[in-house]
Chain A
Amino acid sequence: MTVLILAREIEPQVDRVVEELSGRDVPVFRTDLAAFPQTLVLDARLGPAGWDGTLATERRCVRLRDIRSVWYRHPAHFKFPEGMSRPERRHAAAEARVGVAGVLCSLDVLWVNYPSRESDALKPRQLDVARRCGLRVPQTLITNSPVGIRDFAAVVGGPLAGKNLSAASMVESGHIQTAYTRQLESTDLADLSGVATTAHLFQKFIDDKAFEVRVTVVGERMFAAAIHAKSDAARIDFRADYPSLDYSVVEPPPLIRDGMLAFMRAFDLVFGAFDFAVTTGGEWIMFECNPFGQYGWLEDALDLPITSALADVLQSGARL
């Protein structure tokens, strides 16, 4: 039985899992969907037991029925032959997506994670489901109304944080630009221009935060790393200043563990990277869960066996 990995070719975390599985003599078929249709060939036939056939490259071939699990880690878009017109390319892309995705998603195997889970787990939904799972989340506002923000600020009675709902980065003026979480200043509230241009997320700023925690959940196993920030920028958003961070292993309280597992079940996630703030009073407040989150740097810093846990899940085809 084979582990199918759909990911880009340059993806160090995937390399780790490939090496781990190969070391266990578990067959792995790794491909990027950018290889379709030019070097990746799908030949699928519907039979009495469902879809069967093959997925093949020049070097490897896997029978669909032999796939035990799929690790779906943001493969790249199909790449079509040069010379297609734009309408042809759009047509080919739509056909490829429905054909390839339709067949692969029909396979009754474990997915880490099933592709649509990312769109299921939009941040506003996450916050609501987390609340229902017994996890505390910050007071939150999503709006394009400046009046709404001022009202919210009055209700919260403390500082606000501005965060992104989706992508944190973009390319502009020739540079990567990243919008980290910001603590709003009084000058921001005085001038809210730009709020009306799109949806915005604001939350009560956790001003008694002692440290943050990234909990990587793989199946039922949890790997929790406390992230201690030593600079002002990192205390607001740890991604803003990695060199200032220290890490330590931490154990989530039982109620937090239960909440995360309920959250994972609610979204049918096998892998998730949760971010929490832990207050000076020991309260855990969940910010979000990234279904495709990074873990390599914490695995290295704290020697957490996350790659091994992922390999266990993919090898067994069960959540474990």
Chain B
Amino acid sequence: MSEQSNLMPTPLWRDPLFSPGDRFPLGPPQGYWEDGGDEPSGPATRPFSLRGVVAGPRMSADLNVHYGYCAERQVALVYSEDGSAVPMLKHTKPGPTPVTSGTTDGKPGQAPPEEMANPDYQTD
């Protein structure tokens, strides 16, 4: 057995508990958010790990309306009120970033990405 295999003995792709979705993780579509209307259940059933959760911004259906994509340059755009578009990099450096970033650990001034908010999102 190699040193490598001693450190990581069993890849999870061999584990039947892990579905193809786990092995090829995909997030929900751009702009997708669950409606978020659910309320906390109660002390008997609410996971302990959710004690002390901090409420962030209110979810809104129109969070993405000011963002677009330039297929030529392959970068995101931000639209101003007069309809002109600026590459997001020039718009956001070093300012806030949009709420739909596909990241996993948050960023200053940024709402968490959908996959954080919807870890069980699957359509298959």
Q: Is the CB of B105 within 8 A of A239?
A: yes
User: Does A75 contact B102, Cβ atoms closer than 8 Å?
Assistant: yes
Residues of B within 8 A of A106 (CB): none
The A-contacting residues of B in range 101-124, CB under 8 angstroms, are 101-109, 111-113, 115-119, 121-124
Task: Return B5 CB to nearest CB of chain A, in Å.
Answer: 9
Contacts of A89 in B (CB 8 A): 123
Report A165 CB to chain B, min CB distance, Å.
8
CA distance A32 to B4 in the complex (A): 33
Q: Complex formed: what's the CA distance from A211 to B1 in Å? A: 39
Q: Counting chain B CB atoms within 10 Å of each CB, which of A11, A101, A179, A240 scores highest?
A: A11
Q: Looking at the assembled complex, report how far the CB atom of A9 sits from the nearest CB atom of chain B, in whole angstroms.
A: 4
B76: A residues at CB distance < 8 A: 9-12, 15
Contact of B124 among A94, A168, A265, A267 (CB under 8 A): A94
Task: Kindly list chain B residues whose C-beta atoms are within 8 Å of the C-beta of A90.
Answer: 123-124
CB distance from A242 to the nearest CB of B (A): 4
Contacts of A7 in B (CB 8 A): 102
Across the interface, B112 reaches (CB within 8 A) one of A22, A28, A169, namely A169
CB-based nearest B residue for A91: B124
Q: Is A178 an interface residue (CB 8 A)?
A: yes
Interface membership of B80, Cβ < 8 A: no
Q: Tell me, rounded to whole Å, the shortest Cβ–Cβ distance linking B72 to chain A.
A: 7
Residue numbers in A under 8 Å from B105 (CB-CB): 168, 239, 273, 290, 293-294
Q: What string of 1s and 0s marks CB contacts (under 8 Å) between A12-30 and chain B?
A: 1101101100100000101
Take A74-B27, A77-B28 as given contacts and tell me if A242 and B103 are in contact as well, using a CB distance cutoff of 8 Å.
Answer: no
The SS class assigned to the B binding surface is loop
Question: B50 to chain A: which residues have CB within 8 Å?
Answer: 177, 179, 194
Q: How many residues of chain A have a CB within 8 Å of chain B?
A: 91
Fill in one digit per residue for B18-37: 1 if any A CB lies within 8 Å of its CB, else 0: 10111111111110111111
What are the interface flags for B70-89 relative to A under an 8 Å C-beta threshold, 1 for contact and 0 otherwise? Answer: 01111110000000000111
Contacts of A198 in B (CB 8 A): 47, 49
A182 touches B29 (CB 8 A): no
- Residue ID in chain B nearest A58 by CB atoms: B71
Residue of A nearest to B114 (CB): A76
Complex CA distance for A188 and B51, rounded to whole angstroms: 9
Given A94-B124, A193-B48, A19 contacting B57 (CB threshold 8 A)? no
> Taking beta carbons and an 8 Å cutoff, which residues of A are in contact with B?
5, 7-13, 15-16, 18-19, 22, 28, 30, 32-34, 57-59, 73-79, 89-90, 93-94, 97-98, 101, 105, 115-116, 118-120, 122, 129, 132-133, 162-180, 182, 188, 192-195, 197-198, 200-201, 239-240, 242-243, 262, 265-268, 273, 290, 292-294, 296-297, 300
A/B interface sample: 11 pairs, CB < 8 A = A9-B30, A10-B67, A10-B88, A74-B102, A76-B26, A79-B29, A90-B123, A173-B36, A182-B52, A200-B49, A268-B8
